[in-house]
Amino acid sequence: MNVSATNIILHSLNYNSEGVLKCKMREGELPISPSIEQLVMDLHRSYQSKSNKAFAYFANEGEKSQLFQRALTEELNGELDFVGFSQQAAGRFVDELKEHDFAEEGVLLVSKYTWTTSDYLLIALLQNNQSISVNENLELQVSQHIETSKIQLVARIDLTLLKRDPEANRYISFIKGRVGRKVSDFFLDFMGAKEGFDAKVQNEGLLKAVEEFCEKQELPTEQKQAVREVTSNYCKEQLKEGEDIDLSALSEEFQSTSDLEGSFYDFVSEDYQLEENFPADRTLMRKLTKYVGTGGGMNISFDQKHLGSSIKYDEASDTLTIQGIPPNLREQLKRDALIDSGELVITETILDDGKAPF
């Protein structure tokens, strides 16, 4: 599915000779061209692939906090043109960078585009990097390029959801950023928003619901694993397509691939505080089909289906036995004379809850 860009403008953020961050404002929109469409598509795909997103909504608290929302409302109502809106947004962006002491330079992109049936506003600070290439005369030349795959300071507003349901708590989304950087605070202050919908909590609730649904069904180990794999595959496909998890669709997946009694959707609707739709968390989804443990200098991960067959756990001795070691690991161990057979016994397994191996 392609995106269709409707508006786009760039502003430049740089420090002057006095060390003050300034914004050079562009006075007109960029004309929509195939290269512009490709840029917006690349940014959209990069943003969709990010799993560390936070969701928010306009807080409507205080005069300063409403500056961005007021400008956006005026633009959407035709009272302010897109250029004027982008310039006001750029001014707020710079003010908040200074307030939060983020030493950031780059190209500020403000764009409106359509994808599937929704309209979006994207605001992203892009890095304008240099690259060296060889021209047809075999001479070195330096050129500038924008890195679209490593965006960090970026936020998006679902304009269609905002219009359809102003009381929703998830029409604003942004990338949380690296540990130690208060990116959430920055975007919440910049847009005058409050953090609302928590995708991680939703995903944790889904994992819990799947496990308890299997227990209620009294499924044998093999069938329980099959349900987990159906969930994992569905969530991976949704991540790949940039789509949310749909509980009704997931329930239908269960019915079509497993011989289950009752509806998973009905089961979830009774006792779980889950939204009808929410984005998948790639890291949490791994727990559906894998055991993962880290600690004491060890990092162990394996598919759950191997437990009880090629991998055995003895709780009494806290021992994990692996038969059929991966060839590349075996070669490393044999090279260092640690083993001389195809069996490895690990006697210091890290336990998260005292009951499971990982």
In tens, the pLDDT along 183-196 reads: 888 999 999 999 98
Confidence check: pLDDT of 351 > 90? no
Q: What is the mean pLDDT of the chain?
A: 85
Query: Per-residue pLDDT averaged across 196-202, rounded?
Result: 88
Kindly report which listed range (130-139, 322-331, 339-348) carries the lowest average pLDDT score.
Answer: 339-348
Band of the pLDDT at 178, cuts 50, 70, 90?
low
In tens, the pLDDT along 139-176 reads: 888 776 777 777 878 999 999 999 999 999 999 999 88
Question: Which residues, in sequence order, are CB contacts of 25 under 8 Å at separation 6+?
Answer: 11, 87, 90
In tens, the pLDDT along 303-342 reads: 888 887 888 888 888 898 988 888 888 888 888 765 555 5
Domain boundary assignment for the chain = 3-197, 212-285, 289-346
> 10 Å Cβ neighbour count for 39?
19
Question: Which residues, in sequence order, are CB contacts of 210 under 8 Å at separation 6+?
Answer: 227, 228, 231, 264, 288
Pick 223 or 57 by higher pLDDT: 57
Task: For residue 32, give the DSSP letter.
Answer: P
Question: Would you say 344 and 333 are in contact if contact means Cβ atoms under 8 Å apart?
Answer: yes
Confidence check: pLDDT of 279 > 90? no
pLDDT of residue 74: 96
Question: Which residues, in sequence order, are CB contacts of 217 under 8 Å at separation 6+?
Answer: 260, 261, 262
Query: Per-residue pLDDT averaged across 114-126, rounded?
Result: 93
Farthest-apart Cα atoms in the chain, separation: 77
Query: Per-residue pLDDT averaged across 291-308, rounded?
Result: 83
Q: What pTM was computed for the model?
A: 0.75
